[in-house]
């Protein structure tokens, strides 16, 4: 009987370990906004089904990340104009450690320097801020190294997040040409243990003005044995060798008019051998194959959403889940389920949100989770697009003028929602 009980205990532990996934960086464990988490809540309130809730010292667009028993958050503290790196206990919400990492929280009124999302490999956690400062800590809060990867040439606050993949730390700096006209855009690979540079690859662009700038994050993708780093911005989408940064392929004919205001915000999302490029400001979504080499032409496009006005993004990065892409339109307030290889629309739902949405969708447990500028959460059935619930997460008196842009995440059977004033851990009763 004891032997049987031990076997059952081991099996339960292994099952729980498989189901309880971390959310270690910007777009989660699969780099596409999805997670295998199940038994997630469909409805809750600011008090119902709340495992814990903690006050945050100030706003920030950075999405929280979860690794093991730690929840990491980049934040601001407007009271003393500082930037913070914070770690909370995943089970209780208790503050484990906090570091003040800089003074001055913004360069413009649109955002703060606490917009990039941290990243972790389970041993080291990397915090990066829009002023160029990067910090590495162990899970006990000991600083391992720090550096500044600037200066930058951006019209707005830089917000690309660090990426940890395959033992390397990646950053992209796709910027304008600066006052000298000679500032380069590039991709950087570093050692996450030391911060030392492994390689730096200059990424050329024929874009002009603000269209040179990208505020998104590169994403790794492996398909049919080919591993690459996908990069959007500067009027181009490119694939790069992970070990050297060498460009493998490029497509750059999506802005033939050379519009100077086409800064890019959505990150790449890829699945089934297809990568999406979401053009700015209500422009189409383009689908390209990931197995090509060299310079691609428009003949290589798999589909373009020109005739489907709702299939656009501008800011939110689409998610991939259950075999399809889920594309959120910021301004049109629509969510659409789209087949990767054909662009066929399975459903398109108009949301009840009165405000725009810039937070990227979370896809998990048969549901899509969204958050608008006012911190109003919307839960959508992924199968048919039916709206299941709409839940305000920020009190009206706490909204202020700062817009909420942090995405909802899921880890270890819970949802984590960050507003301007609070961090919620939400369970299912």
Mean pLDDT of 375-381: 97
pLDDT, residue 402, reads 83
CATH class of 161-304: mainly beta
* pLDDT for res 231: 98
Q: Give Cα 162 to chain centroid, integer Å.
A: 10
**Mean pLDDT computed over every residue of the chain:** 93
pLDDT digits (tens, 9 = 90+) for 41-70: 999 999 999 999 999 999 999 999 999 999
Cα separation, 429 vs 418, in Å, equals 21
Instruction: Report which of residues 22 and 20 the model is more confident about.
Output: 22
Domain with CATH 2.40.128.630 in the chain: 161-304
Distance from C-alpha of 79 to C-alpha of 75, rounded to nearest angstrom: 12
**If one looks up domain 309-391 in CATH, what number appears?**
2.40.10.480
Mean of the pLDDT values across residues 72-76? Answer: 98
Residues of the chain with CATH 2.40.10.480: 309-391
Of 364, 348, 347, 345, residue with least CA distance to 407 = 364
Q: What tens digit of pLDDT does each residue of 147-206 get?
A: 999 899 999 999 999 999 999 999 999 999 998 888 999 999 999 999 999 999 999 999
> Is residue 341's pLDDT more than 90?
yes
CA–CA distances in Å: residue 91 to residues 75, 141, 363:
20, 18, 23
Q: Is the pLDDT of residue 14 over 60?
A: no
Adjacent-strand bridge partners of 14: none
Q: Which residues, in sequence order, are bridge partners of residue 226?
A: 223
**The pLDDT of residue 308 is above 60:** yes
* Residue listed under structure tokens 């099996």: 11
At 124-154, the pLDDT tens digits run 999 999 999 999 999 999 999 999 998 999 9
């Amino acid at each position: 009987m004891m032997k049987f009980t031990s076997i059952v205990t081991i099996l339960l532990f292994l099952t729980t370990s498989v189901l309880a996934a971390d959310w270690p960086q910007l777009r989660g464990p699969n780099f596409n906004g999805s997670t295998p988490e199940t038994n997630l809540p469909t409805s809750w309130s600011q008090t119902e089904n709340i495992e814990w809730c903690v006050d945050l010292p100030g706003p920030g667009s950075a999405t929280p990340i979860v690794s093991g028993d730690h929840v990491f958050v980049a934040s601001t503290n407007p009271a003393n104009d500082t930037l913070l790196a914070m770690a909370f206990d995943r089970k209780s919400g208790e503050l484990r450690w906090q570091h003040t990492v800089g003074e001055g929280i913004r360069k413009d009124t649109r955002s703060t320097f606490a917009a990039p999302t941290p990243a972790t490999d389970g041993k080291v956690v990397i915090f990066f801020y829009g002023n160029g400062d990067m910090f590495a800590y162990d899970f006990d809060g000991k600083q391992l190294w720090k550096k500044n990867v600037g200066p930058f040439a951006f019209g707005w606050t830089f917000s690309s997040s660090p990426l940890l993949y395959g033992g390397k730390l990646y950053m992209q700096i796709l910027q304008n040409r600066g006052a000298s006209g000679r500032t380069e855009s590039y991709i950087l690979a570093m050692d996450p243990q030391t911060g030392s540079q492994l390689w730096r690859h200059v990424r050329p662009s024929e874009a002009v003005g603000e269209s040179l700038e990208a505020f998104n994050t590169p994403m790794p993708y492996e398909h049919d044995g080919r591993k690459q780093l996908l990069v959007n911005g500067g009027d181009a989408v490119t694939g790069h060798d992970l070990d050297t940064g060498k460009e493998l392929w490029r497509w750059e004919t999506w802005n033939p008019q050379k519009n100077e205001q086409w800064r890019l915000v959505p990150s790449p999302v890829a699945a089934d051998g297809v990568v999406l490029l979401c053009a700015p400001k209500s422009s189409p979504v383009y689908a390209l194959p990931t197995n090509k080499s060299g310079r691609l032409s428009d003949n290589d496009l798999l589909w373009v959403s020109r005739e489907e006005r709702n299939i656009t993004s501008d800011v939110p990065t689409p998610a991939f889940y259950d075999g399809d892409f889920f594309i959120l339109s910021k301004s049109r307030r629509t969510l659409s389920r789209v087949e990767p290889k054909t662009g066929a629309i399975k459903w398109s739902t108009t949301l009840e949100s009165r405000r725009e949405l810039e937070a990227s969708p979370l896809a998990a447990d048969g549901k899509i989770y969204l958050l608008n500028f006012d911190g109003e959460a919307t839960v959508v059935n992924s199968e048919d697009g039916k709206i299941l619930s709409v839940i305000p997460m920020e009190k009206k008196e706490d909204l202020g003028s700062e817009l909420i842009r942090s995405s909802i995440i899921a880890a270890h059977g819970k949802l984590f929602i960050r507003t301007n004033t609070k961090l919620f851990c939400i369970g299912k009763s």
